[in-house]
Amino acid sequence: MTRNIIGDLSRQGWLDPFDSELARTLCAMVGGTDGAVELAIALTSRHVRLGHACMPLDPDAVLPSFPEQSERSELPAGAAWTEAVRHSALAVDGPLVVDPGGRLYLRRYFEFERDIARALAERSAVGRRERAPEGDAVEESLNRLLGKDPGPRRQAAENALEHRVSVLCGGPGTGKTTTVAAIAAFLVESHRRGGRFDPKVLLL
């Protein structure tokens, strides 16, 4: 039944050939497995291609993005789906990881996420950053770069300047790029006022 869903979604172009082939190959490595596991792998592969690190093993989370003409009613029930993948040979020191929240990862992305979380925790544990004693120059720079209004952008910039780790998020058009540019400009100005070399700023 689940194999029919994979074929259906592949014919519609919703699943890439790589998604279905990865699922088939991994399941073949352990001599075949529950069709629900194969479907979960194919869908997780698609999620990774779209920029996600994992996929929730929850039909309610997956169904809204399904093509209308697909066999949407044939998805496994959430709890049964999670248990099928969790007890698969592929998830026992294999290429799949099911986290406590019921999210399915390809192992490499689970390890990437874990390593990033560990690095952020280590950096944030160092404590707050000491601001250089520049007096009114700091306020003048922030006012010029972001305005005097104590809005979200100004708050985000001040937070980034006071902490060794800062996360800036928001939807399109909320000013993330403007804020990051202002922070980078402030750091350059601060170094120059102190007679230091310009800092290295890496944007990915």
pLDDT, tens digit (0-9, with 9 covering 90-100), for 111-142: 999 999 999 888 887 766 655 555 567 778 88
Higher pLDDT, 137 or 20: 20
Give the lowest-confidence range in 40-54, 88-102, 146-160. 146-160
Q: What is the pLDDT of residue 32?
A: 77
> For residue 149, is pLDDT > 60?
yes
Computed over every residue of the chain, the mean pLDDT equals 84
Token pair listed for 134:
């520049």
Q: With CA atoms as reference, report the closest residue to 44 among 11, 4, 90.
A: 90
What's the pLDDT at 107? 96
Q: CA-to-CA distance for 23 and 15, rounded, in angstroms?
A: 11
> What whole-number percentage of the chain has pLDDT above 90?
35
Q: Looking at mean pLDDT, say which of 102-106, 166-170, 199-203 comes out highest.
A: 102-106
Number of neighbours of residue 118 by Cβ within 10 angstroms: 10
Angle at 130 between CA 127 and CA 133, to 5 degrees: 170
Confidence at residue 74, expressed as pLDDT on a 0 to 100 scale: 65
Spatial separation of the C-alpha atoms in residues 102 and 82, rounded to whole Å: 6
56-78 pLDDT tens trace: 998 888 777 777 655 555 677 76
Structure tokens at 165: 């780790």
Residue 192 tokens read as: 């120059």
pTM (two decimals): 0.72
Q: Which pLDDT band, with edges at 50, 70 and 90, does 15 fall under?
A: very high
Per-residue tokens: 66: 């399904």
pLDDT of residue 128: 63
pLDDT for 3 = 62
Compute the distance between CA of residue 143 and CA of residue 106 in angstroms, rounded to an integer: 46
Mean pLDDT in residue range 74-86: 83
The sheet with strand 103-106 has its strands ordered as: 55-56, 103-106, 96-98
Considering only residues 49 and 74, tell me which one the structure prediction assigns the higher pLDDT: 49
Give 3-state DSSP helix, strand, coil % of the chain, rounded to 5.
60, 5, 35
pLDDT of 5 higher than 60: yes
- Report the pLDDT averaged over residues 24-29: 93
Per-residue pLDDT at 44? 96
